[in-house]
């Protein structure tokens, strides 16, 4: 739940025209729509760890990026903070607010659209201000997979056979992982995909979900996005996206398998995250259900994110 009046007062949004309505639930939080006499707002209740310094840093990046791409403008509290504490918001987690954007549910962004957007973001002058976090740098080792499989079997989890088939492929792909070159790091969005680059009702393109912004090698972020394109569609979509990125002046180039390091690490960490969520006795039922749903999709065909798959994609991208 969200206390609409408390949030509106803290962020100076105006008087609520009713309660907040839940509209979306994802990996980083639950989004509520709040209409006031001052406008319509997206209120996000975060489900994971959050701290003011990180939130302020991603808002600073958004403010730079807003000169190149459309995004929901972030809102600060009257005290100047990005986050409002859970107890002050009457919510299950800390809250942040941005302007509401009306998306067009009937139109999806094309690969060329997404390529132009990521090119624009990679041209933002935003040097990295810290090292890459373990989530984006370190994958999962064989012993950890063994432990998760054993725990899943003991709990009778339905994802166990799928993970058992996926682990050899994940460990094989991990052979491409090398540490990122600090000289190539920039501040990046780090969660770009078809869900977070959307068409608006006014016909424009908007970039959503900036909470994960931080240091990354742009080429590795680009590779992650290219692989996402191949998960539900032919490799041709990724090739089209990369060509559009280059035409739009995107500075990164995909040159070798090491550029797919982030692909391997994120595949590991997302699968492990969802598996742990299903095993967590303290996790809320919707959180466990969401985790099982994600695992069903990710483990249905683990060959989509494998060493042969990224080798094929690299060959298709060309020099």
Report yes or no: 47 and 41 within 8 Å, Cβ to Cβ: no
Report yes or no: 216 and 190 within 8 Å, Cβ to Cβ: yes
* Burial degree of 187 (CB within 10 A; 0-12, 13-18, 19+): buried
Helix (H, G, I), strand (E, B), or coil: what is residue 84? strand
50 or 33, which is more confident?
33
**Residue 48 and residue 24: Cα distance in Å, rounded?**
16
Cα distance from N-terminal residue to C-terminal residue, the chain: 51
Query: Of all residues in the chain, what percent carry a pLDDT higher than 70?
Result: 100
Question: 237: which strand partners?
Answer: none
- What is 189-230 written as a DSSP string? ----STTTEEEBTTS-EEE---TT-EEE-HHHHHHHHHHHHH
* Phi and psi torsions of 206, nearest 5°: -125, 145
Residue 224 CA, chain-centre distance (Å), reads 11
Shortest CA distance to 148 belongs to which of 277, 281, 272, 302?
A: 272
So what's the architecture of 111-317 in CATH?
A: Alpha-Beta Complex (3.90)
Residue 79 has pLDDT above 90, yes or no: yes
Residue 166 has pLDDT above 90, yes or no: yes
> What does pLDDT average to over the chain?
95
User: Which tens digit of pLDDT belongs to each residue from 221-265?
Assistant: 999 999 999 998 899 999 999 999 999 999 999 999 999 999 999
pLDDT at position 256 is 96
Q: Please, which pLDDT band fits residue 123 given cuts at 50, 70 and 90?
A: very high
Residue 214 CA, chain-centre distance (Å), reads 11
* Burial degree of 64 (CB within 10 A; 0-12, 13-18, 19+): middle
Residue with tokens 């466990």: 288
pLDDT at position 233 is 85
Q: Please, which pLDDT band fits residue 24 given cuts at 50, 70 and 90?
A: confident
Query: Of all residues in the chain, what percent carry a pLDDT higher than 90?
Result: 88
State the average pLDDT over residues 297-314.
96
Residue with tokens 């933002």: 124
Sequence ranges of the chain with CATH classification 3.90.1200: 111-317
State the average pLDDT over residues 88-110.
93
Residue 205 CA, chain-centre distance (Å), reads 17
Report yes or no: 252 and 222 within 8 Å, Cβ to Cβ: yes
CATH number of 4-99: 3.30.200.20
- The tokens of 77 are what? 């509290």
How many CB atoms are closer than 10 A to CB 266?
Answer: 21
Sequence ranges of the chain with CATH classification 3.30.200.20: 4-99
Q: Please, which pLDDT band fits residue 284 given cuts at 50, 70 and 90?
A: confident
Helix (H, G, I), strand (E, B), or coil: what is residue 241? helix
């Amino acid at each position: 739940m969200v206390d609409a009046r408390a949030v509106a007062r803290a962020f100076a949004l105006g008087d609520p025209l009713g309660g907040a309505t839940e509209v979306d639930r994802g990996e980083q939080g639950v989004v509520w729509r709040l209409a006031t006499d001052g406008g319509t707002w997206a209120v996000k209740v975060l489900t994971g760890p959050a701290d003011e310094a990180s939130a302020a840093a991603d808002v600073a990046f958004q403010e730079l990026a807003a000169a190149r791409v459309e995004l929901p403008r972030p809102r600060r509290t009257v005290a100047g903070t990005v986050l409002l504490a859970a107890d002050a918001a009457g919510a299950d987690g800390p809250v942040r607010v941005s302007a509401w954007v009306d998306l067009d549910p009937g139109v999806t962004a094309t690969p060329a659209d997404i390529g132009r957007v990521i090119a624009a973001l990679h041209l933002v002058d935003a040097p990295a201000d810290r090292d890459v976090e373990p989530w984006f740098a370190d994958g999962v080792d064989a012993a950890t997979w063994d432990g998760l499989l054993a725990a899943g079997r003991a709990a009778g989890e339905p994802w166990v056979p799928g993970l058992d088939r996926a682990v050899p492929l994940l460990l094989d792909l991990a052979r491409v992982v090398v540490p990122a070159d600090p000289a190539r790091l920039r501040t990046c969005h780090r969660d770009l995909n078809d869900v977070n680059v959307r068409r608006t009702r006014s016909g424009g393109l908007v970039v959503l979900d900036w909470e994960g912004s931080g240091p990354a090698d742009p080429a590795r972020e680009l590779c992650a996005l290219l692989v996402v394109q191949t998960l539900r569609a032919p490799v041709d979509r990724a090739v089209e996206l990369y060509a559009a990125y280059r035409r739009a002046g995107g500075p990164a180039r995909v040159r070798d398998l090491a550029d797919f390091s982030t692909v391997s690490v994120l595949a590991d960490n997302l699968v492990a995250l969802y598996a742990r969520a299903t095993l967590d006795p303290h996790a809320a039922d919707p959180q466990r259900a969401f985790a099982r749903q994600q695992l069903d999709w990710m483990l249905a065909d683990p060959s989509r994110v494998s060493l042969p798959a990224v080798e094929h994609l690299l060959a298709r991208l060309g020099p």
